[in-house]
Amino acid sequence: MDLSSINPVLLVASLMVAATPILLAAIGELVVEKAGVLNLGVEGMMITGAICGFAIAVETGSPWLGFAGAAIGGAALSLLFVLLTQVALANQVASGLALTLFGLGLSALLGQGYVGIKPPPTPRLDIPFLSDLPGLGPVLFGHDLILYLGIALVAAVWAMLKYSRAGLILRAVGESHDAAHALGYKVVRIRIMAILFGGACAGLGGAYISLVRVPQWTEGMTAGVGWIALALVVFASWKPWRVLLGAYLFGGITVLQLNLQAAGVAIPVEYLAMSPYLITILVLVILSKDKSNAPASLGKIFHASH
């Protein structure tokens, strides 16, 4: 065992990268669920975003256009979910699952010509002096912009939900769509916007995997991250900062356990491998003792005639 070979600064820096895809997808899903819609298609939207972002970044040579394309791609796929659940009033659970299956297949099809191609590198923030600070530099100032965007989104969603009128309306729609409707709010329109936002965020998260974290395109490369993001929203009791905490905890322990393995720590590997799931769930369950409830209309179908 040689713990000294683990560099804490590099560890923190890489845990932030590992956590970002989950964070982006989860914060988008949180807004969707706050509006009373349960979209289980996160995985499908992520993988679609991953290939859309990758393809556009490769074709244009610009990672930023790639990320923009990923957000549009994710949102476009969620439009299908909108059609099914908001227009055709189909069951949300079934539609979400279908969206995931469809997204996985569609991305494999779109990605046919992109296997083994290298994407243009996503530039990192490089602030003279600040990025070179020992310790803090690589952790705080040495990442790419999308990582900061993820954190900024958490803050923005939190502030929006807590302080703004728009946030109040969104929550009202999620808690009781009938009451919100009676007050004259456009329930369906608000939900559609929330779903599109969720799709765009999931798309960004997927592209973060294919453009920054791995970076390459491989079929099925999100490998279940979307499901983890979904679970995270529940365990974080629909609170933005807890989503951030949960994502960093999960990403952090994932990276830490790999580092511990590499350093040959005498903990059985099986325990290390399950630790990210276990510890994240434990911490968030303990935190949610205050019984923050799910949005009351979550998953229910709304029709103005009811």
Partner 1 sequence: MKLTALLTNAAMVLGLATGVAAQDKTKVGFIYVGPVGDGGYTYQHDQGRLAVEEHFGDKVETVYQESVPEGADAERAITQMALNGADLIFTTSFGFMDPTVSTAKKFPNVKFEHATGFKRADNLATYSARFYEGRTVMGTIAGMMTKTNKIGYIGAYPIPEVVRGINAAYIAAKKVNPDVEFNIIWAYTWFDPAKEADAAKALLEQGADVLMQHTDSTAPSAAAEKAGNVITFGQASDMAEYKPTPRVSSIIDDWSPYYIERVQQVIDGTWKSTDTWGGIDSGMVAIGEITGLPEEVKKAAEAIRDQIASGELNSFTGPLNRQDGTPWLAEGETADDETLLGMNFYVEGIKAEMPN
Q: Where are the beta strands (DSSP E) in 38-197?
A: none
Please state the closest distance from residue 285 (CB atom) to partner 1, in A.
23
Work out which of 89, 263, 285, 296 binds partner 1, going by CB under 8 A: 263
* Cβ atoms 49, 106 nearer than 8 A: no
Please state the closest distance from residue 260 (CB atom) to partner 1, in A.
9
Applying CB under 8 A, the span of 13-21, 92-100, 186-194, 289-297 interacting with partner 1 comes to 13-21
Work out which of 14, 92, 100, 297 binds partner 1, going by CB under 8 A: 14
Work out which of 89, 127, 261, 296 binds partner 1, going by CB under 8 A: 261
* Cβ atoms 301, 92 nearer than 8 A: yes
Work out which of 7, 164, 292, 293 binds partner 1, going by CB under 8 A: 7
Q: How far is CA 154 from CA 122, 136, 157, 226, 250, in A?
A: 22, 22, 5, 17, 16
Cα angle value 228/231/236 (rounded, 5°): 120
Work out which of 86, 100, 237, 254 binds partner 1, going by CB under 8 A: 254
Tokens representing 272 are 């290390």
Q: Which parts of 146-205 interact with partner 1 (CB under 8 A)?
A: none
Cα angle value 282/214/100 (rounded, 5°): 65
264 binds partner 1 (CB under 8 A): yes
Instruction: Compute CA 160 distance to the chain's CA centroid, rounded to the nearest angstrom.
Output: 18
Work out which of 268, 286, 290, 306 binds partner 1, going by CB under 8 A: 268
Q: Which parts of 273-292 interact with partner 1 (CB under 8 A)?
A: 273
* Cβ atoms 234, 34 nearer than 8 A: no
Rounded-to-integer distance, Cα 177 and Cα 246, Å: 29
Please state the closest distance from residue 236 (CB atom) to partner 1, in A.
21
Between residues 17 and 145, which has the closer beta carbon with respect to partner 1?
17
Q: Binding string, 86-125, against partner 1, x = CB under 8 A?
A: ----------------------x--xx--xxxx--x----
The torsion region of residue 192 among left (phi > 0), alpha (psi -120 to 50) and beta comes to alpha
Please state the closest distance from residue 281 (CB atom) to partner 1, in A.
18
Rounded-to-integer distance, Cα 210 and Cα 52, Å: 10
Q: Which parts of 205-234 interact with partner 1 (CB under 8 A)?
A: 209, 213-216, 218-225
Rounded-to-integer distance, Cα 23 and Cα 204, Å: 10
For partner 1 (CB under 8 A), the number of binding residues is 42
Tokens representing 65 are 């256009």
Between residues 176 and 254, which has the closer beta carbon with respect to partner 1?
254
Please state the closest distance from residue 122 (CB atom) to partner 1, in A.
11
Q: How many residues does this entry show for the chain? A: 306
Rounded-to-integer distance, Cα 204 and Cα 222, Å: 12
Please state the closest distance from residue 106 (CB atom) to partner 1, in A.
13
Between residues 115 and 159, which has the closer beta carbon with respect to partner 1?
115
Rounded-to-integer distance, Cα 32 and Cα 190, Å: 10
| Site of interaction with partner 1 (CB under 8 A) | 5-7, 10-11, 14, 18, 21, 108, 111-112, 115-118, 121, 209, 213-216, 218-225, 254-255, 258-259, 261-264, 266, 268-270, 273
